[in-house]
Amino acid sequence: MKAATEPEPAPVDLVAAAARARTPGYWDAIEGLLDALPLADLADGEKFAALDLGAAGGTLSRHILERYDGAHMTLIEASADLLDQARRRLAAESRRCTFVADDFARIDLTGTYHLIVSAFAVHKLGNIDKRALFRRAYTALVPGGTVLIADIVQPPSARLDAHYRRCWRDQAGGTGDPEFLETAEAAFDLNYGATLADQLEWLSNAGLIDVDTHTKRWQFAVFGGRRRDA
């Protein structure tokens, strides 16, 4: 048990760290989500609202803003430190951003969004909260709106889990400092047994269609769906 006076560890921005080091698995998932953005039928120059759940330091939102001139990003992040990082990272685009200091698993998802994204945040939720989040995301989308999630998923067996971890360690060992890699691997255990198949089913049960996996490497997957057109 930690001593009462021991400070809490600083929150880690897995998205930013993985992007800097091109950490295998993590970076594959970020690229996979960005590659899947055309599925949302977002015309460059046309204005649309996008929501970044558990936005951390704003790296994913920055990539979307760079790709789409008409995007307005709402970033929800509970960590004040990470949200301050996002404000600094996106200072040049501050008029196209709304920053919300709150827990994305608890906040009402008000507004009507064309795109909802999340990177390495949903796995931290318990499975009841994951299912509830998917239902709330569905109601927050416009007809035809799209959800895209890049995250860590639970392999369906212990054998696959051990194999994926070995592969990841072998290829990620030279891409970052040991402390970050230890934190990155520890995140594998924060998914509460939710397999990719489970989460695809929960998205479908929430009402989304075209639910599918867009990319997958080891424990890392990009998946999502869209709300049916009106």
User: In order of start, what are the domains of the chain with their CATH numbers?
Assistant: 19-226 (3.40.50.150)
CA 80 to chain centroid: 18
Q: Which one-letter DSSP state was computed for residue 227?
A: P
pLDDT by 10s per residue, the chain, length 230: 444 555 555 678 989 988 888 999 999 999 999 999 999 999 888 999 999 999 999 999 999 999 999 999 999 999 999 999 999 999 999 999 999 999 999 999 988 999 999 999 999 999 999 999 999 999 999 999 999 999 999 999 999 999 999 999 999 987 767 888 999 999 999 989 999 999 999 999 999 999 999 999 999 999 999 999 97
**pLDDT, position 177:** 75
How many CB atoms within 10 Å of residue 54?
A: 25
Q: How many degrees, rounded to 5, is the angle at CA 219 between CA 49 and CA 228?
A: 35
Three-class secondary structure of residue 169 per DSSP: helix
Give the pairing type, strands 97-101 and 220-226.
unpaired
Give the model's pLDDT for residue 1: 44
pTM of the complete model: 0.94
Residue of 133, 161, 129, 127 lying closest to 149 (CA atoms): 133
44: region left, alpha or beta (phi > 0 left; psi from -120 to 50 alpha): beta
